[in-house]
Amino acid sequence: MLILKLLEQIPFFWEFTEEERQIFVDSNSFFIHYQPNDLLIREGDEDDALLIILEGSALVHTNANPEVTLATLTSSAIIGELSFLTKQPRTSNVVAQQETVAFRIDGQAMKQLDPVLQLKIKDQLIRILVDRLEQMNHAMAKQKEMNQVLARALAEFGAEQGEGATS
């Protein structure tokens, strides 16, 4: 019952009916409990599992800079969607920061689901990826705008310095 309540709170599962969410809960194989410092994902691994944090938190880092936290992931965070979709190796490590419960589905489990559930999962992933693309486009536009402001300020500063040198 607790897992069902968690699924109801996660935006990824809002498009699923209660009966569809119950299918996941009844299987119980979709839910993994992690202890602090457990690896949810290891950089370089070639698994194709998608994870969604239901409860708890995890830190993201790379092998090249293990002391630098790239992100802190909490409830509703989607992890591993690119490897799930493309079968590419993992690009970072994700480590449980505290006790964490995650929904986990890999390609094999996905194939065994009813086609309606498969489609809903893929639709949700598409929506998430489109949202991220829009956020990146917005961030790039803001960065370009800031770069133009900085370039103008530097040009004005250079012009002022040039005037001061000729006086």
pLDDT in tens, 29-81: 899 999 999 999 999 999 999 999 999 999 999 999 999 999 999 999 999 99
Q: According to the CATH classification, is domain 2-113 in 2.60.120.10?
A: yes
**How crowded is residue 52: how many other Cβ atoms within 10 Å of its Cβ?**
25
Check if the beta carbon of residue 48 is closer than 8 Å to that of residue 104. Answer: no
Check if the beta carbon of residue 43 is closer than 8 Å to that of residue 61. Answer: no
Domain boundaries, the chain: 2-113
pTM (predicted TM-score): 0.82
Task: State percent of the chain over pLDDT 70.
Answer: 97
pLDDT for 162 beyond 80: no
Report the candidate in 72, 101, 108, 66 with the shortest Cα–Cα distance to residue 87. 108
pLDDT for 165 beyond 80: no
pLDDT in tens, 73-103: 999 999 999 899 999 999 999 999 999 999 9
